[in-house]
Amino acid sequence: MDVEAKIIEALMGYVSRGAAESLLRRVLHRARKNPLVMGPQEWIELIEGPLLAELRQVLPITGQIPPLKGLVKGLRQVRASASSPVVQAEAPLEPTLELPLDWLDLSEAEVRLSLLQELARVEGVLGVAIQTPWGQEIRLPEDSGELPLLVNMAHRLLSLRQPYTMFYTVLGNAQLMVRGMGQSWVAVLADHDANPGHLLYRLRQLQTAPQEARPR
């Protein structure tokens, strides 16, 4: 799910799907924007500028419609989170010279599910989400809203700059930790009182590779 799809979904509360798709396509064309490479700030500017102006031409509104207000709020959160410093994992209890890596074939659903269950059992963890080109596994609280969408946008934004290993931020009363691995990511949502040291250490161990690419 991407921002383009969320905008269309929001507009469908007021117009048909065909009209929503046509309206957004027209706005993107006039603004000369490619939705595949747009970041949070560009989407915010499009929604609050050209898209709102277009909506005022077809709907009896003066301000932004509620679903798009919520989307803009989420985009601002992603933009702010992307500029937050990454917190380094605390050292393990037993000092080690080298971080032991855990190679996982995330193309296998059983491996993804096993990892999700392992992380979900850690004390203080509220939810886990795993996104890969081969599929996803999500176990999050009902009130987490569009968290997977926001994490995916942050992952894409951070990856555009340079490959990253860990991303950490605070979301309200919770902590969010994301392990980036190429096109895949693993996100853990933990209680604000939870000690992130163990989780960050475990996430740093994760490495993804196809079966044939694993070290022997």
Query: Apex CA 32: angle with CA 29 and CA 38, to 5°?
Result: 105
CATH number, domain containing residue 197: 3.30.450.30
- The answer on 121 and 50 residing in a single domain is no
Q: Decide if 142 is inside a domain.
A: yes
| Same domain (yes/no): 161, 205 | yes
Place of tokens 């027209």: 26
The tens digit of pLDDT for each residue in 149-191 reads: 888 888 888 887 677 788 888 787 888 889 998 889 999 999 9
66 and 151 housed in the same domain: no
CA 112: distance to chain centroid?
17
Question: Are residues 209 and 108 part of one domain?
Answer: yes
Token pair for 196 = 């992130």
What pLDDT was estimated at residue 88? 43
Global confidence as pTM: 0.55
- Report which residue type is found at 35: P
- Specify whether 207 is located in the same domain as 116: yes
pLDDT at 100: 63
In a domain, 93, yes or no: no
Inside any domain, residue 91: no
Whether 188 and 139 share a structural domain: yes
Specify if 128 maps to a domain. yes
Number of domains in the chain: 2
Tell me what pLDDT residue 132 has. Answer: 92
Same domain, 125 and 188: yes
pLDDT over threshold 60, residue 28: yes
Q: How confident is the model at residue 210 (pLDDT cuts 50, 70, 90)?
A: low
pLDDT tens per residue, range 48-77:
999 998 888 777 777 888 889 888 888 888
**Same domain as 206, residue 111:** yes
Residue (of 75, 69, 66, 58) closest to 24 by Cα position? 58
Residue 87 lies in a domain: no
Verify that 118 and 25 share a domain, yes or no.
Answer: no
Residue 171 lies in a domain: yes
Q: Domain containing 201: what range?
A: 102-213
**Residues 98-123 pLDDT 10s:** 446 778 888 899 999 999 999 999 98
